[in-house]
């Protein structure tokens, strides 16, 4: 058996420290634990291959970029499929009365909106950091965030109004 690379311990520490956060981010974007696990595994495998060339200070940003790109690739490959933890007993309803749950409302947003909101508010990244991950100008991140919040608010408002008996 060959010896382990010198950097492998640092990689293992990084993996152990970040895996849960990456799972949370991927789940919020994809809406499925199974898909999130696949994307996180892809991210960590990619990180392993490139680890020796990634600078210490940029590992989180690099990993988030790989994670977001893997999430986007997942959406491109399964456009018409919705992966869920359990199949519904009945057809999936898009009735406004069923939309109050924030997680479900997020899944009704388009992919880019979900990614921007997840990175900004769940991962608590700055506009500048999100722009670097998505490789877009900061103004684009600001406008996408604003539009995504308005769409999300519209979904949540519609759901709240539909549950109000007045």
Tokens coding 91: 């057809």
Q: Are 118 and 29 spatial neighbours (Cβ–Cβ below 8 Å)?
A: yes
From 86, 112, 129, give the residue that closes a domain: 86
pTM for this one? 0.71
pLDDT tens sequence across 120-158:
998 999 999 999 999 999 999 999 999 999 999 888 877
Task: For residue 144, give the CATH number of its domain.
Answer: 1.10.10.10
pLDDT tens sequence across 63-98:
999 999 999 888 776 554 555 666 555 444 445 444
Residues 76 and 113 in one domain: no
Give the residue carrying structure tokens 């539009």: 147
**Count of domains in the chain?**
2
Domain residues for the domain of 148 are 93-166
Residues 69 and 37 in one domain: yes
Residues 56 and 11 in one domain: yes
Tell me the DSSP string of 28-71.
Answer: HHHS-HHHHHHHHHHHHHHHHHHGGGS-GGGHHHHHHHHHHHHH
Q: Are 134 and 68 spatial neighbours (Cβ–Cβ below 8 Å)?
A: yes
From 64, 86, 108, give the residue that closes a domain: 86
pLDDT tens sequence across 31-40:
889 999 999 9
Query: What is the rounded average pLDDT for all residues in the chain?
Result: 83
């Amino acid at each position: 058996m060959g010896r382990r690379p010198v950097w492998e311990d640092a990689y293992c520490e990084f993996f152990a420290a970040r895996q849960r956060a990456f799972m949370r981010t991927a789940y919020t974007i994809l809406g499925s634990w199974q898909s999130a696990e696949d994307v996180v595994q892809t991210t960590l495998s990619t990180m392993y291959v490139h680890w020796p060339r990634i600078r210490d200070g940029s590992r989180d940003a690099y990993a988030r970029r790989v994670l977001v790109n893997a999430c986007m690739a997942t959406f491109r490959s399964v456009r018409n499929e919705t992966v869920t933890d359990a199949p519904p007993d009945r057809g999936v309803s898009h009735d406004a009365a069923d939309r109050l749950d924030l997680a479900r409302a997020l899944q009704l947003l388009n992919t880019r909106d979900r990614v921007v909101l997840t990175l900004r508010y769940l991962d608590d990244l700055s506009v500048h950091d999100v722009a670097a991950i998505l490789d877009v100008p900061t103004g684009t991140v600001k406008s996408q965030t604003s539009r995504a919040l308005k769409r999300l608010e519209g979904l949540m408002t519609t759901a709240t109004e539909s549950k109000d008996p007045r």
